[in-house]
Chains A and B, each alone.
Chain A
Amino acid sequence: GAVVSQHPSWVICKSGTSVKIECRSLDFQATTMFWYRQFPKQSLMLMATSNEGSKATYEQGVEKDKFLINHASLTLSTLTVTSAHPEDSSFYICSAGESGRAWGTDTQYFGPGTRLTVL
């Protein structure tokens, strides 16, 4: 149980184009999903918290107009990198916690990540 998938697993795009990444909780419902970015040989940096049915909460320094997040259902969140540039190339990882748990006690389950390369 508690499987999170991401699609695509990797994507190469031209500078200026937009890329959409999907994150799905396969066998549980997730009120909240999280989007992280991981640079080579570095830790995961939280970008934003995606809340089902409401606006995402972005971390300081993350451009909300560039990284559009939509959490339309309890099993799907999408991250769209708009007008991508080479500096956006990174490994993007999502996670999801099971709904209904006490505040602060969610265990997050992670997706396999999406490697984005912007040429």
Chain B
Amino acid sequence: AQSVSQHNHHVILSEAASLELGCNYSYGGTVNLFWYVQYPGQHLQLLLKYFSGDPLVKGIKGFEAEFIKSKFSFNLRKPSVQWSDTAEYFCAVNGGGNKLTFGTGTQLKVEL
């Protein structure tokens, strides 16, 4: 069975700080990887995804993630966060069919 771990449950940053959220997965085969964001009061939105090719994936709003197969990781990064990035971030993996397994989420708070 596949599983996803997000080690940072709560992160607080000041505006303009750099962000890196960890995501590790457990699955023996080929995986597709996703990061979703849930802004307060809103539904889940896709930030970025990795299926194949360049392991450095760029998404919306300046986010990027790097797939490191040897480390089973897909960490999310942003060089300079904004107050509007305050949200909950979910890493998800699809290792078979189209079923997604989600991590427990990371609550990011960006302070002015």
The count of chain A contact residues (Cβ–Cβ below 8 Å) is: 23
User: In whole Å, how far is A54's beta carbon from the nearest beta carbon of chain B?
Assistant: 14
Q: Which residues of A contact B49 (CB under 8 A)?
A: 107
Pair B90/A43 contact, Cβ less than 8 Å: yes
Known: A44-B90, A113-B43. A106 touches B98 (CB 8 A): yes
Q: Residue of A at shortest CB range from B90?
A: A43
**Residue B44 CB within 8 A of the other chain:** yes
Contact B42 A104 (CB under 8 A): no
A84 to chain B, nearest CB (A): 23
Question: How far is B49's CA from A106's CA once the two chains are assembled, in angstroms?
Answer: 10
- In the complex, identify which listed stretch (B13-21, B66-74, B100-108) lies at the interface while the others stay far away: B100-108
Q: Which residues of B contact A42 (CB under 8 A)?
A: 104-105
Cβ of A28 within 8 Å of any chain B Cβ, yes or no, is: no
Given contacts A93-B43, A110-B44, A111-B43, contact A43 B103 (CB under 8 A): yes
- Residues of B at under 8 Å CB distance from A? 30, 32, 34, 36, 42-46, 49, 51, 90, 94, 96-105
